[in-house]
Amino acid sequence: MAKEKNQRKSPDETQYQAIQQEKEIKRPIIQNCIKAFFVGGLICLIGQVITTFYIYFFDFTEQTAGNPTVATIIFITMLLTGFGLYDKIGQFSGAGSAVPVTGFGNSVISSAIEHRTEGFILGVGANMFKLAGPVIVYGVFAAFVIAIIKTILMKWMGL
């Protein structure tokens, strides 16, 4: 059905598409990039401050401070998402708040909150990774392939 619809376009439809293309708002790319730069940079700066805090006041090294830092940032994300502030930041900054782990955390937490009405098992539990799932799936698979290649190269080719 859908295919047929696409193939047979009525004159009205082609006209509509032309108008739509004409009227489509041009994305202000440079402005968006500047916003993304500052918001993204700021989030990383906050991350660095938290990392330094863990190094100086707790028993974490540069290597091990990464984990508590990520956990802390995601905790802050939970609060911001819960109060509806993260969406506002996201609208303003685009990739600036989506690319850091906070974006990952936000997508998990917001789908968890959103589907709460459908119950905790089928709602929260099943939908939590709806948006973040592909990131984990392809991240893990890509890492698997790369690690296999690297191991083979190192162990059997003696590189």
Partner 1 sequence: MIIKKVIPISMILFFLIGCQATSMEQPNDEEPSYTKLSTQNEFDQQLSNQVKEYLKDNKDLTSVQAVNDEEKILITFEIPHMKRFKLADIRKELKKDIKEKFQIKKVEVSTDQKVILELDKLEEEIQDKSVNKNELKKELKRIIKLSKKQT
Partner 2 sequence: MIFFWAFVVGGIICVIGQILMDVFKLTPAHTLTTFVVFGAILDGLGLYEPLIDFAGAGATVPITSFGNSLVHGAMAEAEEHGLIGVVTGMFEVTSSGISAAIIFGVIGALLFKPKG
Residues 114-143 that bind partner 1 (CB under 8 A): none
3-class DSSP assignment, residue 58: coil
C-beta separation of 103 from 97 below 8 A: yes
Neighbours of 68 (CB within 10 A): 15
User: How many Å apart are CA 157 and CA 10, to the nearest integer?
Assistant: 61
Interacting partner of 56 out of partner 2, partner 1, none (Cβ under 5 to 8 A depending on kind)? partner 1
Which residue lies nearer to partner 2 by CB, 18 or 85? 85
Please report whether residue 14 would count as binding partner 1 according to CB under 8 A.
no
Exposed/middle/buried for residue 32 (C-beta within 10 Å: 0-12, 13-18, 19+): middle
Q: Measured on CA atoms in the order 63, 65, 67, 69, is the torsion positive or negative?
A: negative
Judged by beta carbon, residue 74 or residue 95, the one nearer partner 1 is 95
Q: Determine, following the binding rule CB under 8 A, whether residue 85 of this chain makes contact with partner 2.
A: no
Site string for partner 1, 25-54 (x = CB under 8 A): ----xx--x------------------x--
Question: Does residue 138 belong to the site contacting partner 2 (CB under 8 A)?
Answer: yes
Binding site for partner 1 (CB under 8 A): 29-30, 33, 52, 55-56, 59-65, 67
